[in-house]
Chains A and B, each alone.
Chain A
Amino acid sequence: MMSEIGAIEPLLEIEGLCVNIASRRGNVAAVRNVSLSVAPGEILGVVGESGSGKSVTALAVIGILPAAACVAQGRVRFAGRALDLTGRHGGDRDGLAIIFQNPRAALNPIRPVGRQLVDALRVHSSLSMGQATARAVELLKQVRIREPVRRFWSYPFELSGGMCQRVMIAIALACEPRLLIADEPTTGLDVTTQKAIIDLIVALAARRGMATVLITHDLALAGERCSRLAVMQGGQVVEIGATAEVLSRPREPYTRSLIAATPRADQGARPPESRTLGGLVPKPLLLVEGLCRDYRLRNAGGTAARAWARLSHPGEARRIDIVRAVDKVTFRLSAGESVGLVGESGSGKSTLAALIVRLIDPSAGSILFRGKDIGAIRARDAARAPHRREIQMVFQDPSASLNPRHTAFAAIAEPIRRLGPLAGNRQLDIVVRELAEMVELAPALLTRLPHQLSGGEKARVGIARAIALRPSLLVLDEPTASLDVRVQAVILDLLAKLRSEFELTYLFVSHDLAVVRRICDRVLVMRAGCIVESGMTEQLLSAPTHPYTKELVAAIPHAVVSREHCHTAPTG
């Protein structure tokens, strides 16, 4: 392990960097006096929530800041050379490379990926067209893309997210980097793909002696892979040091709250025990049997359809004009339980949630709620059905699930107006304020529109709306996925509190096993429309039986965290 104060010359040295961004509200200091250094061959993790300035720092180092941003102060030295920080078109950065979040968008959509790779190669070397093409295929092989010669001619839309990121890494390698900046390289990718990509980056770094800066909001990921950690908040580096040191003996309160908030798959907060009638198996609140949902593809036989079929069902011969999103799913929920529904993208978990909540109709199978078949009532008639009040949903994206023209008050009041026994405006006012208090939403915020609220505040409005009618079953579709990690922790605590207070039953849909662990007693694992495994959370996480579950569990980053950590109350 490299010592910070050792005699080795740092490869990258950032000193007192300040970057301002001109916005509608005036100049904002996005990066304030940031100093970092990276030694040759080491992996530095830069961790922070949104708005911490970590990405802007990376863009400044590479020299591709957007027009609205400019470097106010500071120096950056790379391999002993001072870098010019004023340009907008990254030049004179030999040895530096960067990969971004959302890899498909980062590739030219109308140019074959191989040609883009060749473009990069010909900038950084004097290869001829033919030589560059051969080298490009070789690079594709190095990033573990199967059938590299065929994939050379693929367009980004024909590749999965993981494959696009591999192409991006290949492009980065074409620049012969001594330092690779990876800006949230796995955010948005499936959990299993995330692990594969990080493994690839680490392997390449080791083989080439390449230093890496891993920028991420996931503290567990950074903790697992990086030898040194820098924690950023509000444009400043709050704490920096060896990973083990920072995670076990954090000095700053912000670092401590970040550590406390990060969901862990092997330790940390656990949901309170569900009340079961000791020994007796309670009659199920929800019984789902043989549930299926098919979608007809409009362009069956087209390139996209075939590509999809191949990607989602490798090696299987399937009717490509019908997609079976939910495939003979059977499970039960007992009153008072909190059950997690875990799967990657395309697993069908969101479709299953929509079916249970009766937004869409099943193609086959039954949904029995308190013994009554609610699947028989068509979705478009469900608005006035008796079960409407009993089953409600908390949506994933709080911004998209609130009507942009309704105030928070109107949003929370609406279910009561539509379905609740209405006792006049004054009563309504009291009830809405009570609900706001329950979800810890300040009453002054009730008159605001969604775009005037923060992510956490919007999430609270969505939760208040969902519990307004005291439903029995609450389906939560990734309710915290778009929130910062500390806000997420607070909202999860809130959800746990509400469940015990109102004896709600939860079906918690998520791709993140660590989050599910925090709030669910039982877990159902879904893949390609089927439930492959189910069991008690602790049991499933420590000893999974199905190979896919094992893959999922193995993919969760395991960072070594301190046993005692203060539970500071962060804002949200």
Chain B
Amino acid sequence: MEFARHLPYMQPRAGSGSLILIVALGLVGVVAPWIAPQDPLATNVAVALKPPSSIHWFGTDAVGRDVFSRVLIATRLDLSIAATAVALAFIVGAAAGTISGYFGGWIDAAIGRLTDTIMAFPLFVLAMGIVAAAGNTVANIVYATAIINIPTYIRVARAEVLVRRDAPFIQAARLVGNGPPRVLAFHLFPNVLPPLVVQASLNMSYAILNAAGLSFIGLGVRPPTPEWGIMVADGAAFIISGEWWVWLFPGLVLTGAVLAFNIAGDGLRDFFDPQKR
């Protein structure tokens, strides 16, 4: 009960805590090959399925590989898949949404039809379909994840533009001599950007989940490449026999990354609220 009273004050600290975690993850992704204690691909059947110990902090998997090292190396792949997908979706979606909202007319109708079509599918299912059709590669995982995330940015960008397009300060910008391109670039977009950035942070967590989900069912990443989703899938085979460490640690780190981006997104939302500065 005492602890609960401190929770509202935790919020700002949680925000910065999550940022620290994200930076840490990024760093791990970069330096993983150098700090991993063992070779993530080295198999050693003699020590297969050993529980966590001082040598293997996260235990070993079915062919004796060190789970801890694999989790570290996987960080790079998971984060880069998600980041690339989000960046692609952001650029395409923000541009399309802004143009759609500002100019209206047939452009808006066409982009709207496209967005509705993508969103007519449950997104994970669509990603499955895209990867199935285009081929089972990591690149296609990135493209599929990007495609299913584009509508979110289009919608957010369009909505934010529509709210502000006829706002008095935009009218004032026109009156002081800004033509449509300048109004769009210097007055409208800087105010539209923050909600998009918040969306990007929240989207990162969704992209990570999505990519991990696709590899869990066997798409994209092939063994022996370490990746969080595929490692959990490997461990799922041992759920009945109880070697819990094979799937638990990758899953925990995966959850931690997702949580960090979620909290960071919430924190960013508060940060960008100009009233609170």
Interface, chain A (partner B; CB < 8 A): 354, 357, 359, 380-384, 388-389, 392-393, 395-397, 400-405, 414-415, 418-419, 449, 451, 462, 465
* Other-chain contact of A383, B168, B169, B174, B190 (Cβ < 8 Å): B174
CA distance A404 to B173 in the complex (A): 12
CA distance A395 to B173 in the complex (A): 12
Considering the complex, give the chain B residue whose CB is closest to the CB of A381. B179
Once the chains bind, are B175 and A393 in contact (CB under 8 Å)? yes
A298 to chain B minimum Cβ distance, whole angstroms, is: 12
| Chain B residues within an 8 Å CB radius of A419 | 176-177
Once the chains bind, are A383 and B171 in contact (CB under 8 Å)? no
Once the chains bind, are B168 and A395 in contact (CB under 8 Å)? yes
| Chain A residues within an 8 Å CB radius of B277 | 449, 451
Considering the complex, give the chain A residue whose CB is closest to the CB of B166. A359
Considering the complex, give the chain B residue whose CB is closest to the CB of A354. B171
- Interface residues in B177-201 by Cβ distance below 8 A to A read 177-180, 182, 187, 190-191
Once the chains bind, are A405 and B172 in contact (CB under 8 Å)? no
A276 to chain B minimum Cβ distance, whole angstroms, is: 29
Once the chains bind, are B169 and A418 in contact (CB under 8 Å)? no
Once the chains bind, are A404 and B191 in contact (CB under 8 Å)? yes
Once the chains bind, are A400 and B168 in contact (CB under 8 Å)? yes
Q: Is B275 an interface residue (CB 8 A)?
A: yes
Q: Is B242 an interface residue (CB 8 A)?
A: no
Q: Is B122 an interface residue (CB 8 A)?
A: no
Known: A449-B274, A449-B277, A451-B274. Contact between A401 and B177, CB under 8 A? no
Q: Is B167 an interface residue (CB 8 A)?
A: yes
Could you mark each residue 6-39 of chain B with 1 if its beta carbon is under 8 Å from any beta carbon of chain A, else 0? Answer: 0000000000000000000000000000000000
A506 to chain B minimum Cβ distance, whole angstroms, is: 16
Interface, chain B (partner A; CB < 8 A): 167-169, 171-180, 182, 187, 190-191, 274-275, 277
> Interface of chain B, helix or strand or loop or mixed?
helix
Once the chains bind, are A403 and B187 in contact (CB under 8 Å)? yes
Once the chains bind, are B174 and A359 in contact (CB under 8 Å)? yes
Considering the complex, give the chain B residue whose CB is closest to the CB of A395. B168
| 11 chain-A/chain-B pairs, Cβ below 8 angstroms | A381-B179, A384-B179, A388-B175, A395-B168, A395-B171, A397-B168, A400-B167, A400-B168, A415-B175, A419-B176, A465-B172
Once the chains bind, are B179 and A383 in contact (CB under 8 Å)? yes
Considering the complex, give the chain B residue whose CB is closest to the CB of A471. B175
* Other-chain contact of A404, B171, B180, B182, B274 (Cβ < 8 Å): B274
CA distance A397 to B166 in the complex (A): 13
Given contacts A357-B175, A383-B180, A392-B175, 16 further A-B contacts (CB under 8 A): A354-B171, A380-B180, A383-B182, A389-B177, A395-B172, A396-B168, A400-B168, A401-B169, A402-B172, A404-B274, A405-B274, A415-B177, A418-B177, A449-B277, A462-B172, A465-B172
Considering the complex, give the chain B residue whose CB is closest to the CB of A413. B176
Once the chains bind, are A418 and B176 in contact (CB under 8 Å)? yes
| Chain A residues within an 8 Å CB radius of B182 | 383
B180 to chain A minimum Cβ distance, whole angstroms, is: 6
| Chain A residues within an 8 Å CB radius of B179 | 380-381, 383-384
Once the chains bind, are A400 and B169 in contact (CB under 8 Å)? yes
Known: A400-B167, A465-B172. Contact between A405 and B191, CB under 8 A? yes
Once the chains bind, are B176 and A465 in contact (CB under 8 Å)? yes
Once the chains bind, are A359 and B175 in contact (CB under 8 Å)? yes
Most buried by A among B168, B176, B190: B176
Once the chains bind, are B171 and A401 in contact (CB under 8 Å)? yes
Considering the complex, give the chain A residue whose CB is closest to the CB of B174. A383
A450 to chain B minimum Cβ distance, whole angstroms, is: 8
Known: A395-B172, A400-B168, A405-B191. Contact between A451 and B275, CB under 8 A? yes
Most buried by A among B171, B177, B179: B177
Considering the complex, give the chain A residue whose CB is closest to the CB of B172. A401
* Other-chain contact of B177, A384, A397, A451 (Cβ < 8 Å): A384
| Chain B residues within an 8 Å CB radius of A462 | 172
| Chain A residues within an 8 Å CB radius of B176 | 414-415, 418-419, 465
B198 to chain A minimum Cβ distance, whole angstroms, is: 16
B74 to chain A minimum Cβ distance, whole angstroms, is: 40
A399 to chain B minimum Cβ distance, whole angstroms, is: 9
| Chain B residues within an 8 Å CB radius of A414 | 173, 176
CA distance A404 to B195 in the complex (A): 14
CA distance A451 to B275 in the complex (A): 6
CA distance A393 to B172 in the complex (A): 8
| Chain B residues within an 8 Å CB radius of A404 | 169, 191, 274
* Other-chain contact of A382, B167, B169, B174 (Cβ < 8 Å): B174
| Chain B residues within an 8 Å CB radius of A384 | 177, 179
| Chain A residues within an 8 Å CB radius of B175 | 357, 359, 388, 392-393, 415
B89 to chain A minimum Cβ distance, whole angstroms, is: 25
B239 to chain A minimum Cβ distance, whole angstroms, is: 47
CA distance A63 to B209 in the complex (A): 49
CA distance A396 to B172 in the complex (A): 11
CA distance A382 to B174 in the complex (A): 8
Most buried by B among A359, A381, A389: A359
CA distance A395 to B174 in the complex (A): 13
Known: A359-B171, A404-B274. Contact between A418 and B178, CB under 8 A? yes
Once the chains bind, are A403 and B174 in contact (CB under 8 Å)? no
| Chain B residues within an 8 Å CB radius of A400 | 167-169
Once the chains bind, are A383 and B191 in contact (CB under 8 Å)? no
| Chain B residues within an 8 Å CB radius of A403 | 169, 172-173, 187, 191
B80 to chain A minimum Cβ distance, whole angstroms, is: 32
CA distance A462 to B274 in the complex (A): 19
Query: Which 9 A-B residue pairings sit nearest by Cβ, starting from the closest?
Result: A418-B177, A401-B168, A415-B176, A419-B177, A400-B168, A383-B179, A395-B168, A403-B169, A414-B176
